[in-house]
């Protein structure tokens, strides 16, 4: 019975089985051919072919290989050439960086045809680059204007100015193709970040992971070739900032700016000139402010940035007008400050209950013990009103009063030096009086910190002491 079944199958399906047995030879030949095709290149001398590969990289990626240690071919999982310890540049000999592994994925036909060598994509793995701030724009342009497939893995960038480090970005991953196209991840300030670049590099979203810090930049399409315009907004915990900007590589204009936090909100316009030298002009219109923020100022910490402050040249104006029914001590304020190589010249005018206070002076923060020089004037048409501000009641008749005070404050040692005090035209403080006022002011008002100088209770105690 079984023999009969086998004979029937053999007679009816013999051609089919012969085809299957024949096909196995074809498959074997295919696998052997493929294996030979992929593994034979392992025995080529790629040192001689390096020039042809370098020409392709220069033409298609603007990458110049300055020198390398060795080249090796790897067949699996995909055919690729690996350059070890490469010094590379973006068509700019000054802008060079090192790569431990430059991996080039050639097209299949290019494995044997190096005269017409073509790449499908390249990987740059374990990279270190130091950029001068002036070269940053060129580097970014070279990366984001690439039309061919490019992938950075573990890129470390140190940005410097005059060979002094400004900021370091670590472990950056970026690809300009695939499902991760436009996604940049890495570390900054020891925190991981993620950046998404969309719409032909016109929309950039940045997020510092697990920190509450994020920002968005949108670049306008309709603009001059030499102008970058757009909109920026950011969130840092409960602090929000947004503004429009125009940047033409020499001047940056910031406008429609609005900042809001728990203790402060203001509008701002700023003009920053980069060429021929750095110059900044800003106007701040404060809408809300909590005086408690001044308690957190640490002059010792601020003075650690002396080298930074001496590079700033700026003119700033701060305006404030208290809203009706608010509890702010100051009704109106106008403060003008000019920063010039570490010296701050200032002029401020503010009113409290229709009493006018004016001060001008300067401070050189580059000195070891900075002195805040002041020349102040107080004008009041109603003495009862001004004393009422400090919760002092008086039975004296109202009278016009003008007080002039000159001197200096040591902001680190909480000391004051009084040069001159006069009230109207009938009183000029003597040397003995000045010493008494100095001692009382330091013991009562400056006993804790210079920031307590605006403490109403302390000022009241001082007035009562010297009255």
State pLDDT tens for residues 313-355. Answer: 889 999 998 876 566 677 888 999 998 888 889 999 888 877 8
Contact (Cβ atoms closer than 8 angstroms) between residue 427 and residue 401: no
Is residue 64 scored above 50 in pLDDT?
Answer: yes
Mark which of 153, 181, 211 sits at the end of a domain: 211
Contact (Cβ atoms closer than 8 angstroms) between residue 206 and residue 221: no
When pLDDT is averaged across residues 25-32 and rounded to a whole number, the result is 58
Per the omega criterion (within 30 degrees of 0), is the bond before 107 cis? Answer: no
Percent of the chain with pLDDT over 70: 80
Mark which of 211, 237, 253 sits at the end of a domain: 211
Q: Is the residue at 61 inside a domain?
A: yes
Tell me the C-alpha distance between 406 and 111, whole Å.
84
Task: Quote the mean pLDDT of the chain.
Answer: 80
Contact (Cβ atoms closer than 8 angstroms) between residue 57 and residue 86: no
Does residue 13 sit in the same domain as residue 57?
no
What would the pLDDT profile of 294-322 be if each residue is shown by its tens digit?
Answer: 666 766 677 777 777 777 788 999 999 88
Does residue 201 sit in the same domain as residue 301?
no
Domain limits for position 23? 2-40
Q: Is the residue at 264 inside a domain?
A: no
3-state SS assignment for residue 136 = helix
Q: Residue 7: which residues within 8 A CB-CB, separation 6 or more?
A: none
Least confident among 46-50, 60-64, 97-101, 164-168: 46-50
pLDDT at 3: 54
Q: Is the residue at 140 inside a domain?
A: yes
When pLDDT is averaged across residues 378-395 and rounded to a whole number, the result is 75
Q: Is 43 left (phi over 0), alpha (psi -120 to 50) or beta?
A: alpha
Tell me the C-alpha distance between 398 and 381, whole Å.
8
Is residue 75 scored above 90 in pLDDT?
Answer: no
* Residue 395: Cβ-neighbour burial (10 angstroms; 0-12, 13-18, 19+): exposed
Q: Is the residue at 101 inside a domain?
A: yes
Does residue 63 sit in the same domain as residue 178?
yes
Does residue 420 sit in the same domain as residue 339?
yes
Sign, CA dihedral 278-283-289-292, equals positive
Tell me the C-alpha distance between 295 and 88, whole Å.
51
Q: Is the residue at 417 inside a domain?
A: yes
Does residue 325 sit in the same domain as residue 430?
yes
Is residue 21 scored above 60 in pLDDT?
Answer: no
Report CA Rg, the chain: 36
Does residue 12 sit in the same domain as residue 67?
no
Q: Is the residue at 17 inside a domain?
A: yes
Does residue 314 sit in the same domain as residue 409?
yes
Strand residue runs (E) in 189-263: 191-198, 203-208, 213-219, 228-236, 239-247, 251-260
Does residue 317 sit in the same domain as residue 402?
yes
More confident residue, 72 or 304: 72
Q: Give the distance, in angstroms, between the CA of residue 344 and the centroid of all CA atoms in the same chain.
A: 25
Does residue 6 sit in the same domain as residue 136?
no
Our CA angle for 438, 379, 460, nearest 5°, is 45
Our CA angle for 314, 298, 391, nearest 5°, is 100
Is residue 2 scored above 50 in pLDDT?
Answer: no
Please state the domain count of the chain: 3
Sign, CA dihedral 289-293-295-298, equals negative
Least confident among 116-125, 280-289, 341-350: 116-125
Sign, CA dihedral 105-195-256-270, equals negative
When pLDDT is averaged across residues 35-39 and rounded to a whole number, the result is 52
As given in the structure block, the two tokens for residue 214 are: 């994020």
What would the pLDDT profile of 426-435 be if each residue is shown by its tens digit?
Answer: 888 899 989 9
Contact (Cβ atoms closer than 8 angstroms) between residue 177 and residue 149: yes
Tell me the C-alpha distance between 215 and 219, whole Å.
13
What would the pLDDT profile of 452-461 be if each residue is shown by its tens digit?
Answer: 677 777 777 8
Mark which of 169, 193, 211 sits at the end of a domain: 211
């Amino acid at each position: 019975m079984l023999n009969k079944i086998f004979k029937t199958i053999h007679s009816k399906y013999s051609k089919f089985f012969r085809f299957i047995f024949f096909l196995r030879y074809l498959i074997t030949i295919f696998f052997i051919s493929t294996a030979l095709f992929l593994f034979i290149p392992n025995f080529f001398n790629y040192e001689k072919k390096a020039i042809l590969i370098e020409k392709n990289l220069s033409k298609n990626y603007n990458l110049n290989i300055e020198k390398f240690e060795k080249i090796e071919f790897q067949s699996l999982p995909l055919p690729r050439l690996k350059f070890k310890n490469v010094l590379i540049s973006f068509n700019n000999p000054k802008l060079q960086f090192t790569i431990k592994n430059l991996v080039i994925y050639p097209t299949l036909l290019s494995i044997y045809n190096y005269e017409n060598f073509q790449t499908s994509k390249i990987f740059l793995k374990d990279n270190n680059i130091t950029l001068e701030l002036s070269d940053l724009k060129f580097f970014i342009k070279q990366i984001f204007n690439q039309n061919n497939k490019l992938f950075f893995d573990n890129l470390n960038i140190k940005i410097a100015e005059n060979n002094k480090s400004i900021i370091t970005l670590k472990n950056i991953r970026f690809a300009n193709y695939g499902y991760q196209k436009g996604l940049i991840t890495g570390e900054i300030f020891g925190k991981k970040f993620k950046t998404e670049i969309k719409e032909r590099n016109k929309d950039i979203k940045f997020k510092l992971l697990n920190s509450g810090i994020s920002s968005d930049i949108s670049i306008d399409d309709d603009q001059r070739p030499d102008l970058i315009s757009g909109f920026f907004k950011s969130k840092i915990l409960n602090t929000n900032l947004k503004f429009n900007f125009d940047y033409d590589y020499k001047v940056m204009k910031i406008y429609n700016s609005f900042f809001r936090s728990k203790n402060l909100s203001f509008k701002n316009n700023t003009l920053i000139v980069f060429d021929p030298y750095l110059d900044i002009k800003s106007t701040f219109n404060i809408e809300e402010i909590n005086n408690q923020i001044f308690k957190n100022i640490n002059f010792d910490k601020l003075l650690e940035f002396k080298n930074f402050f001496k590079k700033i040249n700026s003119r700033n104006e701060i305006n404030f007008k208290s809203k009706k029914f608010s509890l702010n001590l100051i009704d109106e304020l106008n403060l003008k400050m000019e920063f010039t190589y570490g010296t701050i010249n200032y002029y401020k005018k503010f009113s409290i209950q229709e009493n006018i206070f004016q001060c001008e002076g300067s401070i050189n923060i580059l000195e070891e013990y900075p002195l805040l020089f002041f020349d102040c004037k107080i004008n009041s048409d109603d003495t009862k009103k001004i004393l009422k501000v400090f919760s002092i009641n008086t039975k004296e008749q109202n009278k016009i009063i003008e007080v002039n005070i000159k001197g200096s404050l040591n902001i680190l040692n909480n000391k004051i030096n009084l040069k001159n005090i006069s009230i109207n035209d009938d009183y000029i403080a003597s040397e003995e009086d000045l010493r008494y006022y100095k001692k009382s002011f330091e013991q009562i008002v400056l006993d804790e910190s210079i920031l307590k100088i605006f403490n109403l209770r302390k000022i009241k105690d001082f007035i009562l002491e010297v009255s």
